[in-house]
Amino acid sequence: QFAILFNGLLLLLFLALFEVLLRRPGTRQQLAPKLPTPERVGILFSRFPGFCAGGFIAWAVQVWRRRRERSDLAPDAQILVRFCELGLKFSLLGTAVSLILLPMYATGPGKAGGFNVLCLSNLKVGGSIRFWCVILAAYMLTSAFGYLVLSEWRIFSQLRRSHFASAASGSRGPVAAQSCRTLMVQEVPLHRWSERDIIAFFEKI
């Protein structure tokens, strides 16, 4: 109970801090530069400007509306967003599994007391058929996590290839295109530091 209360208070504290930072013009521009002004976020925000506009609720609504708009993001940003989504998917799956395991723990034949009723401590000592449900749930969660990670790795490989292909084609500017076709040669002897000697060296090889 103490752990639940402590983590709940920490969540409220960080949400309140995030709300304060989003309402300050300076930090708002750093945290959410694309967050629209209060008069442009809809009827709900115009009706309740003191509660909704410019804070966490406005930010959350905009993030949800633009969750599929990733074409303008850099590859690193896309990977970060997908990593957060992977964590969300796995957390939702774990929550769904816990909806089955927690009632099974709570109705177990053990003699546990307090918060331990909702864990393995409340199952029968010496073996119980309910342990198989726990093992199956562990294997299922492990397999699901492996599947999600492999899926994200394939998407990462596709993003990396498409990023390099677009950069090499010049769609990201001449500097990016040139960097894809540039080699850095190090430890060139001092007596070869001339255009003629370098051209002759590369023509020779």
Cα–Cα distances (Å) from 111 to 90, 131, 155, in that order, read 32, 16, 48
Q: Please report the pLDDT score of residue 16 as a whole number.
A: 84
pLDDT in tens, the chain (205 residues): 677 788 889 988 988 888 778 777 777 777 777 666 554 444 445 555 554 555 666 667 776 776 666 666 777 878 888 888 899 899 999 999 999 888 888 887 777 777 777 777 777 666 667 788 888 999 999 999 999 999 999 988 888 888 788 777 777 778 777 777 777 777 778 887 788 888 887 788 7
Q: What is the pTM of this model?
A: 0.60
Cα–Cα distances (Å) from 195 to 116, 119, 198, in that order, read 77, 74, 5
Tokens of 196: 């003629």
Residues 6+ apart with CB under 8 A from 45: 38, 52, 53, 58
The CA distance from 119 to 104, in Å, is 9
